[in-house]
Structure 1
Amino acid sequence: MLLAVHESRGPRGPGRYALTEPEHGHVWGVCAEVDGLFREPRRATYVLLGWVPDNAEVLGWVGSRVWLVPEDGTDDVWLLEDAESLGRHPRTDDLVLTGTDDYLGPPEGHRAPVRLHDGYRWLGSCREFARVLPEEQAAPPVVLRGLAPSDRLRQALASGTRHVPELGEAFLEIRGDNGEPLTDRLLRPAVRAWRPSPRGPDLIDLELDAEIHRPVPGHARPVWDRWFAGPPEAPGAWARLGARQREVWLELVRERGCLLTHEPPPAGRAYELDGRNVTDEPGLFLALGEAVNGPGGYFGGCVDALVDCLHGGFGHTAPATLLWRDIATAREHLSRLLSPDGEPYDLVALVLDVLAERRVHVTLT
């Protein structure tokens, strides 16, 4: 859940991070550095027994979403996110994949053949698989360094070391260096320790016994650093990114877009979509977001989110017109996608239908 930042209920000086209490918007403190936000998530390993690729061998990063589809249709499909191939298991026909499971994970006890696709193409099949989870390890503590604490937090910490203050549910609100909201992360912290900070007088280093929901993996750090510096000044700053980094960029655009307040514009606006770099699904929604809301703008990250945005509240008032330039690029790359269960569909046609239903007249070039 993304919450708006409440400015008047605690210290809000310079700093990227604010620890806040969501019910009343109290700010526990603000700091410029947090340990524990950037780390690799827990990943499962799949050994795909008897792997047969559909075309080229699958090596390296595979995709943000890889779907495993039971061939006999007796079980539902399931999702492996941010999947990476470690190649063939030595001296076998087995392929090793790692990734993060969705919240359900695979069907328990599944022992039948499975086909895999990444939403764009079929990757291959295996006769069955073995799933190996990493050993359970305690999450590293979250440390807020150079924290300017609120009076309320000071009072809680002054209660004595025999009583560990529990802060209840909290959000780590994250801002760019220009002070604008960027995103947030959920915490359920208890204070483990605190000490005076070398970063300045009246500042503390606060160590929390908590795990950050959705830590930021290493491959996403360059994109985050770019957004910390502020939103892009010109459209298409994402265009040269690879597919993995485009997904990260779109996630930040979406989360930031949901935090910002958009004044409803007058009806009848004309938008222009630059379609030259729409070579994948993130690229489509990034280009559409910039067409409506300017550089770094958000206007849906999937078809369902696009429908929500078209109902208002995200910088658009119907009716409107959209000039979609170079649509041939999108049609080349996005007209033969695969649904989770492997059925083909045309994403470009689907988006055009959604826009038309919400009174956006589209002209194609």
Structure 2
Amino acid sequence: MSSSREPALRWLLNDEFSDELEDMDPMWRPLGACIEVDGLFADLPDPPLERFTLIGCEPAGRLREALIRQPLLGDVFVEPVRAGHVGDYTWLWDVTVVAIDGDRVELTGRVQQDRHLQPDTETPEADEFRLTSGDDTLLARCRTVGGLFRERPELDRPPVTLLGFRPEPWFAALLSTWRPDGGEAGQPDTAQAGRLGVVPSDGGKPVRLAATIAARASDGRELSTLQPGVFAHVLAVRPSRRDPDLLDVELDDGVWEPIPAEARELWDRWMDRQPAELGTWVPLAPHMRHEWLRLALAGHRYGAHPDRAPETVYRLDGRHVTDMDAFFCAVGEAINGPGGYFGWNPPALEDCLRGTWGAATPFRLIWHDAEIARRHLGADDFAMLVGWFTEKQVEVVLR
């Protein structure tokens, strides 16, 4: 029996990865919408301290010195080299030299939490491996690195379940070809599936879902999560507990980069209503201000309105600019008002200063209480911030 009230399908999944999109304009298509993306908001475990062995090692520079005096190396990049070509690096941090035995050097360190920076699960084909520091200084060459290239299930993302999912017709047709391994368990109810267009076929094959994820705000705006999305196979399809006319679709993998669980409340607020007052970011913990900036960018309508005229005067409230994220929150609101966006890192700010993001150069930026930022960020970083503007014909007035 259908529910009398239309469910709020607040999460949108868009296909931007299928091969057939190459011949489509625009090069994306809706995949479906759901009430909830279980697994989108999650806190990942901190990578544990691990032990690695450089085999056939030839220490150089800082690593040779570390064997004698200072064992702490910090950030280290491991790169495979084959036929003179340097492959993709693996970024280790908190690296320390703990032992040496002939041409074997023992290290401890941690892999990165971000999935795209983690080591491959199998050792890459290489003639040798190069270890470098952050400034590309050579630390060592070795034949291989024991203990580095392996699976790390402890760092897996929680698998996603699309709760209360309504597929688009093309994806409903694809779901109709799905069969669980080994029989009928998990197959959608035939009558209910038929209402959604998911009519099981006689064959059956794996169904892969690859989609970006966006939220649908109460006013209809889309708020992109600004992350690659989810790439996974369907494990189970069943009638949804949220609404009998929808599906719950269980996947075998998580989103590429989950959003911190603490940010869920912030997303709910922005989905209900974008900030109407200045400074709603101020009470947030420093690490959550980056999530506020993610939403400010997601909510910005690029090119929707013409830039304000050159020579406009903007006022930056600097009372709470105590770190870089706070600066970007404050300058976004100085230019574009409550919840406004004008960059969330240096390259993004440079892009905004080229135009179509709310302000046309040249303009004047009056920075009130600028001394607070100078004190917290340090003279060098503060001068760098001011320089970003002056290089783009912005007059910065410090008050």
Aligned pairs for 1:219-234 within 5 A: 219-234=262-277
Alignment correspondent of 2:113: 100
274 and 77 in structure 1: CA distance in 2 versus 1, 3 angstrom threshold: farther
Whichever residue aligns with residue 136 of structure 1, its letter is P
281 and 26 in structure 1: CA distance in 2 versus 1, 3 angstrom threshold: same
Residue 159 of structure 1 deviates from its aligned partner by: 3.0
Residue 77 of structure 1 deviates from its aligned partner by: 12
260 and 163 in structure 1: CA distance in 2 versus 1, 3 angstrom threshold: farther
**Does the Cα contact within 8 Å between 1:164 and 1:192 map onto a contact in 2?**
no
SS at match of 1:169: strand
Whichever residue aligns with residue 210 of structure 2, its letter is E
**Is 2:177 the partner of 1:183?**
no
Alignment correspondent of 2:35: 32
TM-score (norm 1): 0.68
Match of 2:261 among 211, 218, 221: 218
SS at match of 2:373: helix
Whichever residue aligns with residue 213 of structure 1, its letter is W
**Does the Cα contact within 8 Å between 1:262 and 1:315 map onto a contact in 2?**
no
Alignment correspondent of 1:310: 353
Give the Cα separation in 2 of the matches to 1:357 and 1:172.
Answer: 36
Give the Cα separation in 2 of the matches to 1:347 and 1:262.
Answer: 33
1:238-273 CA-partner distances (Å, limit 9, x unpaired): 11222122232223323444x644423232322111
Give the Cα separation in 2 of the matches to 1:176 and 1:99.
Answer: 33
1:176-204 CA-partner distances (Å, limit 9, x unpaired): 33332222342223222212223334311
Q: Which runs of 5+ in 2 are unaligned?
A: 1-5, 22-26, 52-70, 79-88, 95-108, 120-128, 135-146, 180-202
Residue 103 of structure 1 deviates from its aligned partner by: 5.0
Residue 222 of structure 1 deviates from its aligned partner by: 3.3
Match of 1:16 among 4, 10, 14: 10
Match of 1:293 among 308, 331, 336: 336
SS at match of 1:173: strand
Aligned pairs for 1:86-165 within 5 A: 100=113, 104=117, 135-137=152-154, 139-159=157-177, 161=179, 162-165=203-206
Match of 2:48 among 45, 50, 54: 45
1:94-122 CA-partner distances (Å, limit 9, x unpaired): xx99973685579x898x9x9xxxxxxxx
State the aligned residue count: 295
The structure number with the bigger radius of gyration is 2
**Does the Cα contact within 8 Å between 2:77 and 2:91 map onto a contact in 1?**
no
Alignment correspondent of 2:83: none
Which is worse superposed, 147-156 or 166-175?
A: 166-175
Alignment correspondent of 1:275: 318
Give the Cα separation in 1 of the matches to 2:221 and 2:77.
Answer: 48
SS at match of 1:276: coil
Give the Cα separation in 2 of the matches to 1:255 and 1:243.
Answer: 19
Alignment correspondent of 1:203: 246
**Does the Cα contact within 8 Å between 1:147 and 1:203 map onto a contact in 2?**
yes
1:64-103 CA-partner distances (Å, limit 9, x unpaired): xxxx98389999996869xxxxxxxxxxxxxx99973685
Whichever residue aligns with residue 13 of structure 2, its letter is L
Whichever residue aligns with residue 113 of structure 2, its letter is T
**Does the Cα contact within 8 Å between 1:191 and 1:207 map onto a contact in 2?**
yes
Residue 14 of structure 1 deviates from its aligned partner by: 4.1
268 and 25 in structure 1: CA distance in 2 versus 1, 3 angstrom threshold: same
Residue 311 of structure 1 deviates from its aligned partner by: 0.9
TM-score (norm 2): 0.63
**Is 2:172 the partner of 1:169?**
no
Give the Cα separation in 1 of the matches to 2:374 and 2:256.
Answer: 36
Which is worse superposed, 199-208 or 355-364?
A: 199-208
**Does the Cα contact within 8 Å between 1:168 and 1:188 map onto a contact in 2?**
yes
Give the Cα separation in 1 of the matches to 2:247 and 2:393.
Answer: 54
Residue 351 of structure 1 deviates from its aligned partner by: 1.8
Residue 320 of structure 1 deviates from its aligned partner by: 1.4
* Identical-residue share of aligned pairs (%): 34
Alignment correspondent of 1:264: 306
Whichever residue aligns with residue 31 of structure 1, its letter is C
